[in-house]
């Protein structure tokens, strides 16, 4: 199911799924048939590719009621989308990936809807994914890059060396910025939400046409994202009783600016 879900809209071939799972094609096919009967996986009748099924979405929707960060962050996403005018995303880390768990669309008529709720990608790719990666420890960053390995070759500019440069820049400027590297003419900024140890547990990001994220406007947008990130962290602390603080307060990376 993870292998199928990771393919997003592209789908996966039986052969590729078997290879990734380390199983024979016949065993993999039997498992996929069982998952299909439960509507957790679907197979396109023409391409024969496998995709996540509606049953998986329904399970995710049911569990989302317990996933407090989405509920807590929703008012901030709505307000940010209204104030900024562009699309705002909430992403969380899952293993070595980011997953979009919420999205709010602003009123600006040119919309950048490149990511849907439920979409995922390698940590470091995209502004939210980069914000989630950059403020991990150096050891975790290297482990994540190594684990994602060949997947990064699918994203121009996001090879291991490129990712390390992006991480350095993100730490220096305190936010992630992707300027037309994934979709021509579209840019995005992202900031992390961190726990008491300074570990990123989620990311807020905004995507827009590049002209709307020019230097001056970008500073204002980043300030708004960081303000709401602090607000969400405080709400999580109050709700969970855990000491969740902003990255500026506790994270040595933020303090040393390295």
**Closest of 182, 191, 227, 220 to residue 90, by C-alpha:** 191
pLDDT at site 110: 67
Per-residue model confidence as pLDDT tens digits over 155-169: 777 888 889 999 999
pLDDT at site 109: 59
pLDDT at site 164: 93
Q: Is the pLDDT of residue 138 over 50?
A: yes
Element counts in the chain: helices (H) and strands (E): 11, 8
Q: In angstroms, rounded to a whole number, what is the distance separating the alpha carbons of residues 200 and 65?
A: 22
Helix (H) / strand (E) element for 251: namely none
Q: Are 205 and 235 in contact (CB under 8 A)?
A: no
The more confident residue out of 80 and 156 is: 80
Q: In angstroms, rounded to a whole number, what is the distance separating the alpha carbons of residues 258 and 135?
A: 10
Domains of the chain in sequence order:
2-60 (1.10.10.10), 67-256 (3.30.450.40)
Q: Are 248 and 227 in contact (CB under 8 A)?
A: no
Per-residue pLDDT, averaged over 38-42, amounts to 84
- 6-20, 123-137, 231-245 — which is least confidently predicted? 231-245
**Closest of 221, 209, 229, 202 to residue 129, by C-alpha:** 202
DSSP-based three-state secondary structure for 212: helix
pLDDT at site 209: 81
Per-residue model confidence as pLDDT tens digits over 101-136: 999 987 775 666 578 888 888 999 989 999 999 999
The average confidence (pLDDT) of the chain is 81
pLDDT at site 205: 94
- Scored b (16 or more CB within 10 A) or e, 7-23 reads bbeebbebeebbeeeee
pLDDT at site 60: 61
């Amino acid at each position: 199911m993870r292998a199928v879900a990771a393919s997003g809209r592209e789908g996966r071939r039986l052969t590729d799924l078997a290879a990734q799972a380390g199983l024979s094609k016949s065993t993999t096919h039997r498992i996929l048939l069982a998952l299909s009967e439960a509507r957790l996986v679907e197979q396109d009748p023409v391409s024969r590719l496998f995709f996540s099924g509606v049953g998986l979405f329904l399970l995710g929707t049911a569990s989302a009621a317990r996933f407090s960060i989405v509920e807590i962050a929703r008012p901030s996403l709505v307000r940010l989308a209204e104030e900024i005018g562009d699309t705002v995303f909430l992403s969380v880390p899952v293993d070595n990936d980011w997953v979009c768990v919420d999205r709010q669309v602003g009123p600006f008529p040119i919309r950048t809807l490149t990511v849907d709720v439920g979409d995922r990608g390698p940590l470091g790719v995209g502004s939210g994914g980069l914000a989630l990666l950059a403020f991990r420890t150096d050891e975790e960053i290297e482990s994540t890059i190594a684990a994602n390995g060949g997947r990064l070759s699918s994203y121009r500019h996001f090879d291991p060396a490129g990712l390390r440069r992006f991480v350095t820049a993100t730490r220096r400027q305190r936010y992630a910025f992707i300027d037309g590297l994934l979709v021509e003419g579209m840019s995005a900024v992202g900031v992390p939400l961190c726990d008491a140890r300074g570990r990123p547990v989620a990311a807020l990001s905004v995507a827009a046409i590049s002209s709307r994220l020019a230097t001056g406007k970008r500073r204002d947008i980043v300030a708004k994202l960081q303000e709401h990130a602090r607000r969400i962290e405080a709400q999580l602390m109050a709700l969970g009783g855990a000491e969740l603080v902003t990255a500026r307060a506790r994270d040595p990376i933020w303090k040393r600016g390295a």
